[in-house]
Structure 1
Amino acid sequence: MKLSNLRLEHNVPFEYGKNQARIICDMQAGFTDKKELWFSVDEEYADLLTDDVYDAFMVALLYPAMYYHEDIEIEGNVSKRLWHNITSYVESCVLDFEPKCKKISIKPRGFSDAEKSKYLHVGTGFSGGVDSFSTVTDNFFNNEDNDYKIDILFFFHVGQYGNVNKKETWERAENRFSITKKFANEAKIPWSILMSSNLFDFYLPRWEYDVGLFCRVASILVFQKVLKRYYVSNDYSYGELRRMNFALGGECIAEYAEAWLLPLFSTSTLDILSDGIQFKRSDKIQRIKDNPFVQKYLNVCVDTSEEHTGATNCSCCRKCLETQFALDCAGVLSNFSNVFDIKKYKKNIFKYECHIVKHYGKNTFDTDNVNFARAKGKKLPSNLTANIACTVYRVAHIFKVALTNPKKVFHRLFSKGFDV
């Protein structure tokens, strides 16, 4: 793989919005016929883009290069600290995570740190979820130290909202970003930036989940010119990560290694920190539940169906039920009636309770919610009831799918896809 001709392009027409400023480089690789990788923002934010080092591109293409067994040659400079950490440590972590990958060599033309702007920011990604609000609570609402207080929010559209080549996906992302923008305006956080990319021209569809950590880190490095510190909101606590690694095994690289990988992606002039890792999800719920901004803007939905493009919670997907259940256990669910359809939650609550009881000790968030419910004195179905109910729900789901898509039944009959 060869990366070259790093440049900043202005006023690039964009089908789904304003003209864009793009940081872009040419690339040649054996596994794809695509010739360019780019990251873009609205033209008014062009000065925030880092166009003098290839750090973001090196990180973005590391996993595809290792997966397809291609060395990386870079006709430009990268941060020496970042290059050293990737070649010495990160590659080994990837090899342990995915046996199909192979250690590669990365050969830049030279080493230099990104030229920094006069005024530097403290940033974080913000989607309106529990983890985002926990990070903002600790590092904006409860922090007056300008070296650590957040003053810029980012929304990276890099695959997590569905197929990036579909109009509906862009509509969904724009609507979700509207939450970030409205919240920033009301909370008086000076900046809120939407960034998009063609990164998934080079990633397989599931990689957004498996190795989305690399997408997020690459996106952060796109802005390292104007950043001195960046908080990545973590899903899991230290104890939960320990349990997953030593008992369950993480399903994605963030579950497997985020706690120690993120510091390795810092450069000499930018700290990338894992925030929220000191709390379980139920702890975060307790900490943010009384914040009026949370009650107004909380958005946790993971429904990416073409019919669901609005910036609303569907109230019945896994993440919506998980969050509502914790709020219910905390006794504050009624305060969130503006962001959830509580009638849908109540319709699905027994099925969800059976699910988490059945998967107790097997899934981190299910285990946390069961423990939280018991601590709050909430009665849950017995193990026998939960297992019988889940079996009934699973069989009913199979028959339902069989009526509409028989081929799918034969393909997934014994897969986890039908588990409830």
Structure 2
Amino acid sequence: MENDSVLITSRVFFDNKDHFLWYKFPLEYKEFIITGNLDAFLVGLLFLGLERKENIKIKGNVSEKLFYTIRHYLIPALASANSEYVKIDIFADNLNGNDLNKAAIAGTGLSCGIDSFATFYDHIDEKGSFKIDYFTFFNVGSHGDLGGSHARKIYESRLEGIRSFAAQVNKKLITVDSNLSEILKLNFQQSHSLRNISCALHLQKLFKNYFYASAYKLDHFKLNPKDTSDSDFLYLRFLDTESTSFYSSVAQYTRVERTLMVAGYSDTYNYLDVCTNPWENIDEINCSRCYKCLRTQLTLDIAGKLKNYEGVFDISLFKKIKARYIGELLFKKNKSPLDREVLDFMKERNYTIDPEVYFFGIYSLYRINKIIFKKNIKKLFGR
């Protein structure tokens, strides 16, 4: 325990040597941290066991419900999603069937992105144990797949805006740092759901309900070995314990519907952060040219709400590259569900498309086909 924080550590043995997985919490939440159950460590390290095709042996207690659902449902689901996985087993010294929760409140992760904001505002009128009283912000891979000092710097830089928004809406913020990424050494998208839930599982005394923002609407579902976002609606239900329930939040809305919901709250105008380029040296929060920035700006522009976010986007830059982006979107062959949502929204609102959009679209098709042609030629001649 440090002066202002609590460090929870577990010894993890693999590769014939000891490793130490740790999570760091603010000292003020010490009374809510679970120490009797090793649920958080089991969930955090589950992908490591699957990658290594090794059973997991736990020297301590595990929640009875979690132990059951991981063995019977979660591991088979993850093995079905990824043909490289086998159905490993879990062993624990003891199972604990007690409800350890004592605060009976709800929490959710806050990134200041569309999904996390939508989760908060979708629950703003909830009562009792479903009312969001706490935000969380975790360093377990979203700031860099493999962790380390660079990822921690991004985490700390993002934290400034997170803290400010939480204070503005009068909610408490729980930060959690960890070396989980350094131990897993896996792609974050492949394992993000379990990484983040492992942090929340340390706080089962505090959270009766925890909302994890979904990426897609609930009618989009598939077992994807590269991204748990496609199946969070299923996976999260297998991470419940006797003390805490997990929900794939705002899964009833499309991304466009979520964006419109968020745009209805002025508190978000100076905090919206959707960017995939956090290392960019820019004045605004967002780079305004990565695919997430472009999609969000286009949605807001179609809705007539983009000007409200001039403090976080470089709107002049967006206007310069908007035609190219729409052209590429229209002529794109493998459109994602989120791409199709935006295109449907454009049609619904009779959004004006400049003629140059079609030039960029045709050019993007030419460029893609030219690359494919060159690859095929190289294959043909064995180069």
User: One fold, TM greater than 0.5?
Assistant: yes
Match of 1:63, as an amino acid? F
Is residue 191 of structure 2 the alignment partner of residue 218 of structure 1? no
Q: CA deviation at 1:203?
A: 2.1
What do residues 151-201 of structure 1 show as CA deviations (whole Å, max 9, x unaligned)? 000001111112665444322211212222111111111x10111111112
Q: CA deviation at 1:357?
A: 1.1
Partner of 1:181: 163
Is residue 251 of structure 2 the alignment partner of residue 289 of structure 1? no
Match of 1:209, as an amino acid? Q
Instruction: Report if the CA contact (8 A) 2:102-2:205 is conserved.
Output: no
Q: CA deviation at 1:23?
A: 1.1
Partner of 2:6: 21
Q: CA deviation at 1:369?
A: 0.7
Match of 2:130, as an amino acid? Y
Q: CA deviation at 1:285?
A: 1.3
Partner of 1:7: none
Instruction: Report if the CA contact (8 A) 1:168-1:309 is conserved.
Output: no
Is residue 195 of structure 2 the alignment partner of residue 195 of structure 1? no
Partner of 2:129: 147
Is residue 86 of structure 2 the alignment partner of residue 86 of structure 1? no
Change in Cα spacing, 1:165 to 1:270, as seen in structure 2 (3 Å) is closer
Partner of 2:254: 280
Change in Cα spacing, 1:308 to 1:221, as seen in structure 2 (3 Å) is farther
Which 10-residue stretch deviates more, 280-289 or 110-119? Answer: 110-119
What do residues 229-283 of structure 1 show as CA deviations (whole Å, max 9, x unaligned)? 10111111122x14xx3xxx74634243211111111111211111110000001
Aligned residue for 2:270, secondary structure, equals: helix
Instruction: Report if the CA contact (8 A) 2:284-2:314 is conserved.
Output: no
Match of 1:264, as an amino acid? F
Partner of 1:344: 317
Unaligned ranges ≥5, structure 1? 1-9, 12-17, 399-408, 415-420
Match of 2:27, as an amino acid? E
Separation in structure 2 between the aligned mates of residue 67 and residue 102 of structure 1, nearest angstrom: 9
Q: CA deviation at 1:33?
A: 4.6
Partner of 2:45: 61
TM-score, normalised to structure 1, is: 0.82
Partner of 1:325: 298
Partner of 1:406: none
Instruction: Report if the CA contact (8 A) 1:114-1:225 is conserved.
Output: no
Partner of 2:209: 229
The equivalent position to 2:25 in structure 1, one of 33, 41, 47, is 41
Aligned residue for 2:248, secondary structure, equals: strand
Instruction: Report if the CA contact (8 A) 2:205-2:243 is conserved.
Output: no
Is residue 36 of structure 2 the alignment partner of residue 52 of structure 1? yes
Instruction: Report if the CA contact (8 A) 1:60-1:218 is conserved.
Output: yes
Instruction: Report if the CA contact (8 A) 1:95-1:101 is conserved.
Output: yes
Q: CA deviation at 1:34?
A: 5.3
Instruction: Report if the CA contact (8 A) 1:184-1:192 is conserved.
Output: yes
Instruction: Report if the CA contact (8 A) 2:103-2:208 is conserved.
Output: no
Match of 1:203, as an amino acid? L
Partner of 1:171: 153
Aligned residue for 1:211, secondary structure, equals: helix
Match of 1:229, as an amino acid? N
Change in Cα spacing, 1:217 to 1:146, as seen in structure 2 (3 Å) is same
Instruction: Report if the CA contact (8 A) 2:101-2:243 is conserved.
Output: no
Change in Cα spacing, 1:133 to 1:397, as seen in structure 2 (3 Å) is farther
Instruction: Report if the CA contact (8 A) 1:41-1:195 is conserved.
Output: yes
Instruction: Report if the CA contact (8 A) 1:210-1:253 is conserved.
Output: yes
Instruction: Report if the CA contact (8 A) 2:99-2:242 is conserved.
Output: no
Instruction: Report if the CA contact (8 A) 1:299-1:311 is conserved.
Output: no
Separation in structure 2 between the aligned mates of residue 129 and residue 396 of structure 1, nearest angstrom: 36
Partner of 2:82: 98
Instruction: Report if the CA contact (8 A) 1:360-1:367 is conserved.
Output: no
Separation in structure 1 between the aligned mates of residue 309 and residue 71 of structure 2, nearest angstrom: 47
Aligned residue for 1:123, secondary structure, equals: strand
Instruction: Report if the CA contact (8 A) 1:360-1:366 is conserved.
Output: no
Instruction: Report if the CA contact (8 A) 2:23-2:178 is conserved.
Output: yes
Partner of 1:135: 119
TM-score, normalised to structure 2, is: 0.89
Q: What is the identity percentage for the equivalent residue pairs of Structure 1 and Structure 2? A: 25
Change in Cα spacing, 1:309 to 1:396, as seen in structure 2 (3 Å) is farther
